[in-house]
Structure 1
C-alpha cells in the first residue's frame, strides 16, 4: 500500500509536468505577434521566388563576315588579305603595309566599302590605268559587267551603295544583257540612266 501511494504521487508529478509543458506551448503559439508570423511567411515566399527566378543567358554576338581582297600595285606588300565585311579600302591598304612613296593615292576612293573577291590596284604617279576588262579598248566605255567597286563610282550618280548594288545584281542574275538593265537596280531611275547610257557598255 505504501509503494502504491508513492507510485501514484510520481504519476501525479509527471502528469503535472506534461500538462505544464503543453500549456506553455499553447500559450506561446497563440501569443506570437501577428506581424512576426506574417514576416516568416513573407520570407519563405521571397526565398522561393529567388530560387524560381531564371538567370537570363547573355545575348550571342553576331558573327563577323570576312572577305578576301587582292591588293596590287604601289603598296609595301601586295597580296590577298582578309578583312571585315564592313571594312573600307583604306583598311586593306593598311594591311598591305601602306602606300609606296610613288603611289598615286588620288586615283583611289579610300572610303569605299570592300566586297569579297575585290581587286584593288594602286597606280604610281603619272600612271593612268584601269583594271583589265572594265573598259573597252576602242570606246573607253566602262563595262558594267566587269568594273569593280572603285571603277563604278567613277560614273556620275554612282556612289558606294549603288556600286555595291550593281555588283550584287551581277552575282545574283548574271551579266547584264543590255545597258538598260541597269534600271532594274533600286535607286537607278530614268534620270540617272540618261547620265550613264553614253558612258557604259555591257561588253
Structure 2
C-alpha cells in the first residue's frame, strides 16, 4: 500500500485538492445564502424604522395651543386644544352655549390658534371690538384694522386688495391642507400671489 501511494502520490495529492475545492464550493453558497437572509432582515428592519419615523413626524405636526373661552358658555375658562381644532370644538369643551347666547354672532368654523380669546355674546349684547378676540362676531379684523389670514372666511378675504373669490378659496384650501400660515410672507406660496400682489397686501394682513 505504501509503495502504491509513493508511486501514485501525484494522483493522490490531486484527488485531495479536488476534494477540498469541491467541499469549499459546496459550503460557500450556503454561507452566502445565510448572509443574504441576514441582509434582507436588516433591510426590513431599516424600512420599518423609517416608516415609524414618518408616522412620528406626521404626528408631531399637530401642536398644542391654549385658548380662553369667555361669555355665554356654561364653563368659561382656559382650555388646551390642538392646532387643527375649530371654535365649535372649544365651545363644546366649555360645556356648550347657554340659552342666552347669540349664535348668529359666532363663526364656529374658525380654526383656533395659540392665545386666542373666544368671546360668545348674549342676545342683544352690544360688543366693542376687543384686541385678541377674533371669533366673537365671526370677524378677524381687529383694532389694528388687519385681516387675520389664518381665520378669515372667503368674504373677509375678498375685502383685501386684489383678492377675488378664486384666490380667497385658494387661501382657505391651502391653510386647511397645510395648516396655519406662520408668517404673512407665506401667502406668496398661493398661486397667483406674487411679489407685487403681496406688496399691496402686506399692510392689511397678519397671522396672529
What are the ranges of 5 or more consecutive residues in structure 2 without an aligned counterpart? 3-11, 133-140, 160-167, 185-197
Question: What TM-score, normalized by structure 2, do the two folds share?
Answer: 0.51
Q: 2:114 aligns with which of 107, 113, 116?
A: 116
Following superposition, the deviation at residue 72 of structure 1 comes to 0.4
| 1:79-123 alpha-carbon deviations (Å, 9 max, x no partner) | 111111121111111111111122122211111111111111111
| 1:43-66 alpha-carbon deviations (Å, 9 max, x no partner) | 321211222342212315122311
Return closer, same or farther for 1:133/1:90 CA change in 2, 3 Å cut-off: closer
Question: How many residue pairs end up in the alignment?
Answer: 147
**1:49 pairs with 2:43:** no
Question: What TM-score, normalized by structure 1, do the two folds share?
Answer: 0.52
Contact between 2:87 and 2:107, CA under 8 Å: does it hold in 1?
yes
Indicate the RMSD between aligned Cα atoms, in angstroms: 4.5
Whole-Å Cα distance in 2 between the matches of residues 52 and 151 of structure 1?
A: 51
Counterpart for residue 89 of structure 1: 87
Contact between 2:68 and 2:78, CA under 8 Å: does it hold in 1?
yes
What are the ranges of 5 or more consecutive residues in structure 1 without an aligned counterpart? 1-11, 16-22, 135-141, 170-180, 194-203
**1:183 pairs with 2:208:** no
Counterpart for residue 135 of structure 2: none
Computing the radius of gyration from Cα coordinates, the structure with the larger value is: 1
Contact between 1:88 and 1:112, CA under 8 Å: does it hold in 2?
yes
Return closer, same or farther for 1:133/1:89 CA change in 2, 3 Å cut-off: closer
> SS of the residue aligned with 2:53?
coil
Whole-Å Cα distance in 2 between the matches of residues 147 and 130 of structure 1?
A: 16
Contact between 1:144 and 1:152, CA under 8 Å: does it hold in 2?
no
Whole-Å Cα distance in 1 between the matches of residues 75 and 202 of structure 2?
A: 36
Following superposition, the deviation at residue 125 of structure 1 comes to 2.1
Contact between 2:111 and 2:151, CA under 8 Å: does it hold in 1?
no
